[in-house]
Amino acid sequence: MPSSTDPFLLLHSIGKTFASGVTALENVNLKVNEGDFMSLLGPSGCGKSTALRIIAGLSNPTSGLVEWRGAPLRQNDIGFVFQEPTLLPWASVYDNVWLPLRLRGVSRKDAAPQIAEVLERVHLTGFEEAVPRELSGGMKMRVSIARGLVTQPRILLMDEPFAALDEITRFKLNNDLLELWAERGFTVIFVTHSVFESVFLSNRITVMAARPGRVFDEVAVDAPYPRNQSFRTSPEYAALCRKTSDALVDAINATAQDLEETVHGDH
Amino acid sequence: MATTDQPGRAAPALVIDPEEARRERRRKRERIGSWLLPLTIMGLAIVLWDRICVWNEIPQYILPRPGVVLATVIKDASLLFSSLMVTLKITVLSLALAIAGGVGLAVLFTQSRFIEMSLFPFAIVLQVTPIVAIFPLINIYVDDQTTKLLLCAWIVAFFPILSNTTLGLNSVDRNLIDYFRLNGASRWQTLWHLRLPAAMPYFLGGLKIAGGLALIGAVVAEFVAGTAGQSSGLASRIIEAGYRLNAPRLFAALILISLTGILIFLALSWISHLVLHRWHESALKQEH
């Protein structure tokens, strides 16, 4: 399997405080290995999206350091998939996938082989000329993933990409994403609030707690890949889900206790 | 995997329940009614106009009969249409300048909040001050007749384009802006590939308003200027006809102005449809 033990990305005591005074992240340390499928799991407000934005370079940490190991990171090396498909509504599927290459100066024609390849990988061959509103939610997300992968990034950052989809579509996209990941061997950081999704997909789960956002626990998901539909109903999966769910409940309770203490402290 | 729903048009062989059949009939009636009704009412109004003239024996110099007006349009065609061309030229030129000025300023505004804060009040002042009140000043400062009219029509027409385009350029999905940043897009690339296309529906909405206003501006400006020269527009024809109590020609000129306004609106709506029909909510056909 693609995962190795060489650290690829290290977060050193990352903190983020907004001008409003809200502390989104406090002392976050994280190690992501090359080829990892790491999920950031936590309740809303635990700063998992903020952490992802800091890793992407869309936001700067107030304190701490983001360190990339290995070959120097190029702009192409980070792919990003948002919660919404975030496509250009006026552009065709083809042009949407072309966009990141276009911004790097690759002509429409020169990009054709790469676009055709990645569209085939996400099962969208034949839909090149459709515009986003002609597609279903799941297909739009596939376009978004294709756009994220067309630059052949070393790491794919995904911010709750399947949260808005129905369960059947989500399962299908989960399977396809794992397939792509196994084939191409990129690293994934996957933000989610679903225990089941994180266990199915990842080899490591980082559980985060809120107020302030921090790393609370880590769960190793040592079930072997490839994982498929039968894994979803296996006792092993159920046990891992219970373990992860317990960790998540503890993280949520930790926040509740902190809040109680603050409230009592104030009075 | 299927694309979106196909249009829900019932094929003849299809078995549908009475409710659906009723809905389908209503849709058909509405489709026909949408053009038949206005045409019928318009026709009736013209007949009524004609009857009122006849029943009350209204003299032609007060209210001419529709037939007379139509005859005047044909009889005075060369005079009226050359005037129409003058008015149309001012309208189209001022609209083009309004697009250039409005979009240009809007793009400038989105480059810096501070520029917007500094200049937007001026745009509002220009918009809220009645053009009729500004015109005497323009009359003093500008010599050339065409330039005067152009300036007037421009002032009236450019604001809706400016304010709509500014709104559009600022109404871009935050995530898409982040996505462009993530991909190292330059300011120019973000403007060209993201902000301008995203502003298109807003711009086209402003353009539809501005098209009508440019015509109004061109006519009003000529009214205020009041000079009937060799190459004067439809407003001069109306003033002139008013002095001579030539009511049929006055009506003829008026009708030409209205028709021009309608044509401008239809043309701009058509352009808007062409640009937006595939992707924007406003241009989607309602099926149910």
ipTM given for this complex: 0.88
Same-domain pairing of B50 and B101: no
Residue B16 lies in a domain: no
Same-domain pairing of B53 and B72: no
Bridge partners (DSSP) of residue A187 are A155
What CA–CA distance (Å, rounded) separates A123 from B201?
Answer: 32
Q: Which residues from chain B sit within 8 angstroms of residue A53, using beta carbons? A: 178
Amino acid at site A141: M
| Highest mean pLDDT: which range of A211-225, B79-93, B128-142 | B79-93
Please give the class, per CATH, of domain A7-73+154-266.
alpha beta
| C-alpha pair distances (Å), B244 with each of A227, B66, B68, B71, B249 | 92, 19, 17, 18, 10
Residue B3 above 50 pLDDT? no
Q: Where are the domains of chain A?
A: 7-73+154-266
Chain B residues 151-210 with a CB less than 8 Å from chain A: 173, 175-176, 178-185, 189, 193-194, 197, 200
A6 close to A173: Cβ distance less than 8 angstroms: no
Gyration radius from chain B CA atoms = 25
Question: How many helices (H) does chain A have, and how many strands (E)?
Answer: 8, 9
pLDDT of residue B126: 85
Residue B13 lies in a domain: no
Query: Average pLDDT in the A208-235 region?
Result: 88
Q: Tell me how many domains chain B contains.
A: 2
Same-domain pairing of B76 and B205: yes
Q: Which among B1, B179, B279 is the nearest to A133, CB-wise?
A: B279
In angstroms, the separation between the Cα of residue B243 and the nearest Cα of chain A is 54
Same-domain pairing of B93 and B232: yes
Same-domain pairing of B46 and B76: no
- Unique residue bearing structure tokens 């978004």: A144
pLDDT of residue A142: 93
Q: Phi first, then psi: what are they for B84, rounded to 5°?
A: -60, -40
Residue B9 above 60 pLDDT? no
By DSSP bridging, strand A63-68 and strand A7-17 are antiparallel
> Which ranges of A27-130 does DSSP label H, i.e. alpha helix?
48-56, 93-102, 112-121
CB atoms within 10 A of CB A251: 21
Query: Average pLDDT in the A69-92 region?
Result: 87
Q: Phi first, then psi: what are they for B214, rounded to 5°?
A: -60, -40
Instruction: List the domain range (segments joined by +) for residue B48.
Output: 21-58
Same-domain pairing of B25 and B160: no
What CA–CA distance (Å, rounded) separates A79 from A75?
Answer: 9
**Given strand A63-68, what is the order of strands in its sheet?**
A23-33, A7-17, A63-68
Q: How many angstroms separate the most distant Cα atoms in chain A?
A: 68
In angstroms, the separation between the Cα of residue B156 and the nearest Cα of chain A is 31
Amino acid at site A26: E
Asked if A89 and B2 come within 8 Å (Cβ–Cβ), the reply is: no
Asked if B184 and A104 come within 8 Å (Cβ–Cβ), the reply is: yes
Q: Phi first, then psi: what are they for A80, rounded to 5°?
A: -135, 130
Same-domain pairing of B102 and B221: yes
Domain holding B217: CATH number? 1.10.3720.10
Same-domain pairing of B78 and B148: yes
Q: Is A75's Cβ below 8 Å from some Cβ in B? A: yes
pLDDT of residue B221: 86
Among residues B34, B58, B82, which one ends one of the domains?
B58
Same-domain pairing of B154 and B29: no
Residue B49 above 70 pLDDT? yes
Q: Give the helix/strand (H/E) hosting A147.
A: helix A137-149
What CA–CA distance (Å, rounded) separates A163 from A145?
Answer: 14
Structure tokens at B174: 């935050």
Same-domain pairing of B104 and B180: yes
In angstroms, the separation between the Cα of residue A173 and the nearest Cα of chain B is 13
Residue A196 above 70 pLDDT? yes
Q: Which residues from chain B sit within 8 angstroms of residue A89, using beta carbons? A: 279-280
Residue B276 lies in a domain: yes
Same-domain pairing of B73 and B49: no
State how far Cα B238 lies from the chain centre: 22
> A interface mutation test: which of B1, B173, B177, B202 has the most A CBs within 10 A?
B1
Nearest-CA neighbor of A215 among A7, A46, A38? A46
Q: How confident is the model at residue A1 (pLDDT cuts 50, 70, 90)?
A: very low
Asked if B1 and A139 come within 8 Å (Cβ–Cβ), the reply is: yes
Q: How does A26-60 read in b/e, with b if 16+ C-beta sit within 10 Å?
A: bebebbbbbbbbbbbbbbebbbbbbbbbbbbebbe
Q: Could you read off the pLDDT of B73-126 as tens digits, one per residue? A: 999 999 999 999 999 999 999 999 999 999 999 999 988 889 888 988 888 888
Same-domain pairing of B47 and B134: no
CB atoms within 10 A of CB B226: 11
Asked if A136 and B173 come within 8 Å (Cβ–Cβ), the reply is: no
Q: Could you read off the pLDDT of A134-156 as tens digits, one per residue? A: 999 999 999 999 999 999 999 99
